[in-house]
Amino acid sequence: MARVALVTGGQRGIGAAISEALQTAGRKVVASYAGNDEAARAFTERTGIPCYKFDVSDFAACEVAVRQIEADHGPVEVLVNNAGITRDAVMKRLTRDMWDAVIDTNLGGCYNLCKLVWDGMTARKFGRIVNIGSINGQAGQYGQVNYAAAKSGIHGFTKALAQEGARAHITVNAIAPGYVDTEMVRAVPAEVLEKIIARIPRGRLGTAEDIARGVLFLTADDADFVTGSTLSINGGQHMY
């Protein structure tokens, strides 16, 4: 039987490429999203992958959704925590609300989903979890104190949880993408983006498919010995 893979934020951007790659690899994929119904409808129409709407930062909503997903499709055995947001501002303008939104979504979402699938994975003695971090969690970034803290937290979270899961054959890894051509990055002013690309040895932005390839590697059934690692996919921009 195909294993169920849940990809948060899995109907557009990097998440959509991850969902489609996992589907091609034979997983039964379920995508989640926050509010973009139009993108979700179009994605399901194109791929057949069902989309569930819930806020990853809301534990109660995640609990209801995971119960529903497992009732509809079976236990989640592959989890990709990809949903993320930015609320960029320098410290002078960084409000408590901007801080909370980014920490609660990007890092809190990882806790919420991992917590909800953990007991099932432990009982079945199989699990593959990939958390999407960021180059800016590794290196920091001007104007992104909240985002860098959340993504850096994901890298620590991953290493700690990997230690807890290892004996139960649950692997927990992170991917730290560099700058990838999605709506999130298209929001960066053109002159800033030009400077960013100039600093990427490969000389281009990443593609969502570049990141999906890493997820496939880390979630393979036989990837049993890779856990607690962070895979940097950044065109050589930051070698960690």
Catalytic (active site) residue 33? no
Angle 59-73/108-124 helices, nearest 10 degrees?
40
Q: Does the protein bind ligand NDP through residue 210 (CB under 6 A)?
A: no
Classify residue 188 as exposed, middle or buried by CB count within 10 Å of its CB (0-12, 13-18, 19+): middle
Q: Does the protein bind ligand NDP through residue 235 (CB under 6 A)?
A: no
Contact range with ligand NDP by CB under 6 A, out of 76-84, 92-100, 118-126, 217-225: 76-84
Write phi, then psi, for 172 (nearest 5 degrees). -130, 115
Q: Of 192, 191, 160, 159, give the one whose Cα is nearest residue 176.
A: 159
Q: Does the protein bind ligand NDP through residue 214 (CB under 6 A)?
A: no
CA 143 from chain centre, in angstroms, equals 21
Q: Does the protein bind ligand NDP through residue 138 (CB under 6 A)?
A: no
Nearer to ligand NDP, 134 or 171 (CB): 134
CB 156 within 8 A of CB 113: no
Among 36, 122, 141, 229, binds ligand NDP (CB under 6 A): 36
Among 23, 173, 182, 227, binds ligand NDP (CB under 6 A): 182
Alpha-helical (H) ranges within 25-83 are: 37-47, 59-73
Number of residues that bind ligand NDP (CB under 6 A): 30
CB 32 within 8 A of CB 84: no
Q: Does the protein bind ligand NDP through residue 236 (CB under 6 A)?
A: no
Instruction: Give the residues lining the site for ligand NDP (CB under 6 A).
Output: 8-9, 11-15, 32-36, 39, 55-57, 82-85, 105, 132, 134, 177, 179-180, 182-185
Catalogue the active-site residues: 147
